[in-house]
Structure 1
Amino acid sequence: MTMTKPGVKPACANFSSGPCAKIPGWTAQSLSNALVGRSHRSGEGKARLKLAIQLTREVLEVPDDYLIGIVPASDTGAVEMAMWSLLGQRPVDMLAWESFGEGWVSDVVKQLKLKDARKLLAAYGELPDLAMVDFNNDVVFTWNGTTSGVRVADGSWIPDDRAGLTICDATSAAFAQNLDFPKLDVVTFSWQKVLGGEGAHGVLILSPRAVQRLESYTPAWPMPKIFRLTSGGKIIAGIFEGETINTPSMLCVEDYIVALEWAKSVGGLAGLMARADANAAVVQRWIDANDFAKNLAKAAATRSNTSVCLTLEGGEAVPKKMAKLLETEKAAFDIGSYRDAPPGLRIWCGATVETSDLEALMPWLDWAYAQATAS
């Protein structure tokens, strides 16, 4: 089938699921206030880090009694810090339905070697049976499966009177989906996802119940320095006031602050979620209009509004050809499915992406599919 190449390209063709598109209008000049060449331990350095924490609380609508800390090694570091510091007192239910959740399962079973870890798994496109979760245990799960495009619909499946802790990797959900904080004892994310920040540090949010566990329980294993959240049996308060465990990039800190200020300008959390919902709707309308495309997430209620994953008829070579064609044409960058996911495309629809750019991309998907399936 021949098809005319579209005449209009997205103004910004960055649809990667991480690092994600920068905020609209971003330039390097946006970072002109970065405290470069200065110590992050100076009064001004700590003030910038503390401002990042304060803005995080404001935009994400984090409860006042939850602690927010900036920690090393992106979301991975934040999740590992939580698991190494908190798990082991109780049995743990490990939920996974895509590669990152599977990674946390592997670390708990093979690295921490917890004997009473129960795995609740589902194939790509589905969720585990949430009714099977035992909340007398600790529970570890991703809110939004970045590599499958499958998310939990809400927090209603988590009881208020749970005995265990809930540890939630929310890296591709925070700032785009309504995290139910009273249901969550640990929340982690990285700057380079929904707000399009640069790498380096992650964010760790702790409920009072998580703090109580930290101060009353000592894991049986040695604790690496960058994972230590307590000293002398008490939480290290400075971590949650802008005193990072290791040296942060103040350029990255400034970039995060700039993104948070932008988030406020578009209506805060409600505005960010509305932008992501509108973006995901553009892609879903395209899927619905084409018999050869399917959303990898089978149930509409569990479809991500950030990392939208789709499969295509014609064999696994088709999406690879499409991604290469679109990159060559500079119509879309980095939209191939994750290496462990089923062959397909993954289109980032988070809040920093302009809806007009996704609308411009859809005709290019038609063109690329026609080219990739031409005999």
Structure 2
Amino acid sequence: MTDLTAKPDLRPANPNFSSGPCSKRPGWSFDQLSGAPLGRSHRAKPGKAKLAEAIDLTRKVLKVPDDYRIGIVPASDTGAVEMALWSLLGARGVDMLAWESFGSGWVTDVLKQLKLADARVLEAPYGALPDLKAVDFSNDVVFTWNGTTSGVRVPDGDWIPADREGLTICDATSAAFAQDLPFEKLDVVTFSWQKVLGGEAAHGVLILSPRAVERLESYTPAWPLPKIFRLTKGGKLIEGVFKGETINTPSMLCVEDYLDALKWADGLGGLDALRARADANLQVLADWVGQTAWADFLAVDPATRSNTSVCLKVVDTDILALDGDRQAAFAKAIVSALDAEGVAYDIGAYRDAPSGLRIWVGATIETGDLKALTHWLEWAFRSEKAKLLQAA
């Protein structure tokens, strides 16, 4: 008789499936960082050259238009988004789109911190998108491209008009380097390189369209701006920020690590190759979900499934018969079992999300590791369910 709880023979070579900071690129080692100008000022020629190179390679790999500015800013993607919200909003009404934790966080900032009375909120539960046809583009629009904590992304930019009146402010932190971003439809794009490229944390990237720059130079918010958010001086954009003269001191070790990841991505074939790797990884899990009865995507519409942060829910009828707390405990038991075996780290659902699993499948993950992981997912589910039934 086959033992359904026997451990699989094949293990993922890389067990790091965290959704942030994400796995380092294949073949990464500390040796790649030996060229970092450590102990030197970031404003000295070597440091400025490294920062400028990072900006130039970002433009190349992401296919950012020549007339868009790219700046490296403090405090990860959160810092980049906050700079945009505090510096740009208030000139007109704003539509806030939220369907997961981070989008909801931007709603809180706009309503409770900036206290914008003319803010309109369009929300959807985890697993779905708001009605994109209801967005009013005479307003500014703030949204996440890829909901990291729900595994739900917008399918494309077709819903954004080219002749919009307001600005589009897009948190693209789990989308950049894995999904196509139509920059002609986006006025502000933010991300952190700790996501798809697996860079070290604490640095954000802020990309501005000419329309966003025009807003910065023609509009002064009603509230004071701390120094760390200021992008203009005397009514003019501080151009140095977008040439490698950062607002505060960056880690040149982290910048070197980002450069290593960018060069790896460029060597693969750039954005197209990165997207293909992420798509292939998503397909591995999609094929597996299609063959298993106990797991399903949190994203309701297949067209909105993320190819980076894949969120799964447990749909086994015996587990669904449990109360919410016990369902959550069962999902956590699967996560703990895989962690204890050293085959998958940090794949629990985000704390504010429905209980389940969140598996990173971005470009730095190898397809073979995901295939191996699916067998361990089956093992963990069967093992934990057997314990549950034995205890009943």
TM-score bucket (shorter structure): over 0.9
Give the counterpart of 2:369 among 339, 343, 357.
357
Structure 2: stretches of 5+ with no match in the other structure: 320-326
Q: Does 1:87 align with 2:78?
A: no
Q: Does 1:342 align with 2:354?
A: yes
Secondary structure of the residue that 2:24 maps to in structure 1?
coil
Q: Residue 22 of structure 1 aligns with which residue?
A: 24
**Structure 2 counterpart of 1:318, one-letter code:** F
> Mapping of 1:167-316 within 5 angstroms?
167-312=169-314, 313=316, 314=319, 315-316=327-328
Deviation at 1:319, TM superposition (A): 1.4
Q: Residue 115 of structure 1 aligns with which residue?
A: 117
- Give me the whole-angstrom Cα distance separating, in 2, the residues matched to 1:172 and 1:108: 22
Give the counterpart of 2:152 among 111, 130, 150.
150
- Give me the whole-angstrom Cα distance separating, in 1, the residues matched to 2:384 and 2:195: 30
- Give me the whole-angstrom Cα distance separating, in 2, the residues matched to 1:31 and 1:280: 30
Secondary structure of the residue that 1:316 maps to in structure 2?
helix
Q: Deviations over 1:16-55 (max 9, x none)?
A: 0000000001111110111100000001110000000000
Deviation at 1:3, TM superposition (A): 2.1
**Structure 2 counterpart of 1:358, one-letter code:** L
- Give me the whole-angstrom Cα distance separating, in 1, the residues matched to 2:245 and 2:61: 21
Q: Residue 334 of structure 2 aligns with which residue?
A: 322
Secondary structure of the residue that 2:40 maps to in structure 1?
coil
- Give me the whole-angstrom Cα distance separating, in 1, the residues matched to 2:236 and 2:260: 33
Deviation at 1:188, TM superposition (A): 0.1
Secondary structure of the residue that 1:113 maps to in structure 2?
coil
Q: Does 1:366 align with 2:378?
A: yes
Deviation at 1:285, TM superposition (A): 1.0
User: Which segment is superposed worse, 285-294 or 166-175?
Assistant: 285-294
Secondary structure of the residue that 2:175 maps to in structure 1?
coil
Q: Deviations over 1:153-205 (max 9, x none)?
A: 00000000000000000000000000010000000000100000001210000
Deviation at 1:291, TM superposition (A): 1.5
Deviation at 1:316, TM superposition (A): 2.2
Q: Deviations over 1:290-335 (max 9, x none)?
A: 1111100000100000000000131222210010000000010000
- Give me the whole-angstrom Cα distance separating, in 1, the residues matched to 2:70 and 2:224: 24
Deviation at 1:2, TM superposition (A): 3.6
Secondary structure of the residue that 1:95 maps to in structure 2?
strand
- Give me the whole-angstrom Cα distance separating, in 1, the residues matched to 2:63 and 2:297: 30
- Give me the whole-angstrom Cα distance separating, in 1, the residues matched to 2:384 and 2:5: 11
Q: Residue 165 of structure 2 aligns with which residue?
A: 163
Secondary structure of the residue that 2:196 maps to in structure 1?
coil
Q: Deviations over 1:128-171 (max 9, x none)?
A: 00000000000000000000000000000000000000000000
Q: Does 1:46 align with 2:58?
A: no
Secondary structure of the residue that 1:76 maps to in structure 2?
helix
- Give me the whole-angstrom Cα distance separating, in 1, the residues matched to 2:32 and 2:338: 29
- Give me the whole-angstrom Cα distance separating, in 2, the residues matched to 1:335 and 1:240: 36
> Mapping of 1:91-110 within 5 angstroms?
91-110=93-112
Deviation at 1:286, TM superposition (A): 1.0
Deviation at 1:7, TM superposition (A): 1.0
Q: Deviations over 1:66-104 (max 9, x none)?
A: 000000100000000000000000000000000000000
- Give me the whole-angstrom Cα distance separating, in 1, the residues matched to 2:385 and 2:74: 45
Structure 1: stretches of 5+ with no match in the other structure: none
Identity over aligned residues, as a percent?
A: 69
- Give me the whole-angstrom Cα distance separating, in 1, the residues matched to 2:365 and 2:291: 22
Deviation at 1:8, TM superposition (A): 1.2
**Structure 2 counterpart of 1:347, one-letter code:** I
- Give me the whole-angstrom Cα distance separating, in 2, the residues matched to 1:31 and 1:115: 48
Deviation at 1:109, TM superposition (A): 0.3
- Give me the whole-angstrom Cα distance separating, in 1, the residues matched to 2:299 and 2:293: 16
Deviation at 1:265, TM superposition (A): 1.3
- Give me the whole-angstrom Cα distance separating, in 1, the residues matched to 2:92 and 2:111: 14
- Give me the whole-angstrom Cα distance separating, in 1, the residues matched to 2:378 and 2:201: 33
- Give me the whole-angstrom Cα distance separating, in 2, the residues matched to 1:2 and 1:128: 41
Q: Deviations over 1:194-229 (max 9, x none)?
A: 000001210000000000000000000000000000
- Report the aligned-residue RMSD: 0.7
Secondary structure of the residue that 2:311 maps to in structure 1?
strand
